[in-house]
């Protein structure tokens, strides 16, 4: 099947009707559609299209209107192709409410179809290009949650990325994704919930006399204005001292802001090749929390320009939010769709 990045995008879609998943078939998408708007008026998705393993013949891209994230039909669209021309061609400007993504880190990671060894200058210039496309797609009150990490021998990448995005976005929040943490009993004192030393989460051990294990990554929260209202209690945590609920005027319920340190461990797996065939992913819980923090009632459409294994799509499925994702690697694209389809059918 012939495909080009600019003229055709292979598209697969999942329509969710309430709590049930209806799977539509794949096809090549015509890029001159004003996707991402509400009430487009195109034909409905055909739930009867086969989703077998054989390569189907081409079908035109079939966007679906999106009216709400609760109780209405929403569509999740997966596109095989470069996100920069894809966003420009397929997403109507100003229609994306939340972007949650994790682009390549320029750390020499072995991806399938992407060369992560390009020069830093080339990488940062490319970062500006995709960020400008994303900004155009975002609504004025939209949020970009950008997950990016580093390695001990190259710790500057997150800061260099944030710096080149400074003329494009306002950096509204800096969130630390904590993958693993150790808490000593003596450090918390008389705290009933912790009865001994605790070490939880997963990390990649570093065998070095110079560096400590790298147990966190950044989530940069960018907005257009720096003044986007958030639903902080949507990812809140209960007060440890319940007397605060009555003592503090701001505490209207037993829930407080979680803050900017988010402990989100990976799920334990037996085989990375089979269960997580991508060298750099975030768990579905991370985009779930980002979408909730932005405000689920305001999240009509979520975009992930670097879809990977589709964990942002899975988060959208779980929350009933429309989704668009782009991926240049066909292996990751197929796996993202397969995982999302499985989630929709559970």
For 1-15, 16-30, 35-49, which range has the lowest pLDDT when averaged over its residues? 35-49
Q: Report the C-alpha gap between 94 and 343 in whole angstroms.
A: 29
CATH classification code of 9-166+222-230+268-344: 3.40.50.150
Q: Report the C-alpha gap between 228 and 169 in whole angstroms.
A: 12
Q: Report the C-alpha gap between 145 and 140 in whole angstroms.
A: 15
- Locate the DSSP E strands across the chain: 9-17, 20-23, 27-29, 74-80, 96-101, 138-148, 170-178, 180-183, 198-201, 216-223, 261-263, 301-304, 322-327
For the chain, the domains span 9-166+222-230+268-344
pLDDT at 250: 65
Q: Report the C-alpha gap between 124 and 114 in whole angstroms.
A: 15
**What secondary structure does DSSP assign to 37-68, as a single string?**
-S---PPPP-TTS---SSPPPP----------
Task: For residue 345, name the pLDDT band (cuts at 50, 70, 90).
Answer: confident
pLDDT at 58 over 50: no
pTM above 0.95, yes or no: no
pLDDT digits (tens, 9 = 90+) for 203-229: 888 889 999 999 999 999 999 999 999
């Amino acid at each position: 099947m012939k495909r080009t990045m600019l003229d055709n995008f292979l598209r697969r879609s999942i329509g969710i009707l309430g709590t049930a998943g209806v799977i539509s078939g794949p096809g090549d998408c015509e890029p001159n559609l004003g996707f991402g708007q509400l009430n487009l008026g195109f034909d409905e998705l055909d739930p009867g299209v086969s989703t077998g393993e054989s390569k189907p013949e081409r079908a035109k891209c079939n966007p679906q209107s999106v009216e709400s994230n609760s109780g209405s039909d929403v569509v999740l669209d997966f596109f095989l192709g470069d996100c920069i021309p894809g966003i420009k061609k397929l997403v109507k400007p100003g229609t994306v409410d939340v972007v949650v993504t994790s682009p390549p880190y320029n750390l020499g990671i072995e991806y399938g179809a992407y060369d992560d060894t390009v020069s830093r200058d080339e990488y940062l210039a490319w970062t500006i290009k995709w960020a400008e496309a994303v900004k155009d797609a975002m609504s004025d009150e939209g949020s970009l949650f950008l997950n990016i990490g580093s390695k001990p021998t190259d710790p500057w990448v997150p800061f260099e990325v944030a710096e080149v995005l400074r003329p494009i976005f306002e950096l509204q929040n800096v969130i630390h994704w904590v993958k693993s943490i150790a808490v000593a009993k003596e450090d918390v004192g008389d705290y009933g919930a912790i009865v001994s030393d605790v070490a939880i989460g997963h990390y990649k051990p570093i065998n070095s006399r110079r560096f400590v294990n790298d147990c966190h990554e950044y989530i940069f929260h960018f907005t257009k204005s720096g003044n986007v209202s958030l639903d902080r209690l949507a990812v809140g945590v209960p007060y440890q001292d319940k007397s605060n609920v009555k003592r503090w005027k701001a505490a209207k319920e037993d829930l407080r802001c979680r803050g900017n340190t988010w402990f989100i461990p990976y799920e334990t797996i037996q085989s990375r090749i089979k269960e997580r065939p991508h060298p750099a992913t975030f768990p579905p819980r991370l985009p779930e929390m980002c979408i909730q923090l932005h405000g689920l009632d305001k999240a009509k459409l979520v975009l992930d320009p670097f879809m990977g294994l589709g964990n942002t799509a899975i988060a959208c499925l779980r929350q009933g939010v429309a989704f668009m994702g782009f991926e240049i690697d066909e292996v990751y694209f197929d796996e993202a769709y397969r995982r999302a389809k499985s989630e929709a059918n559970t």
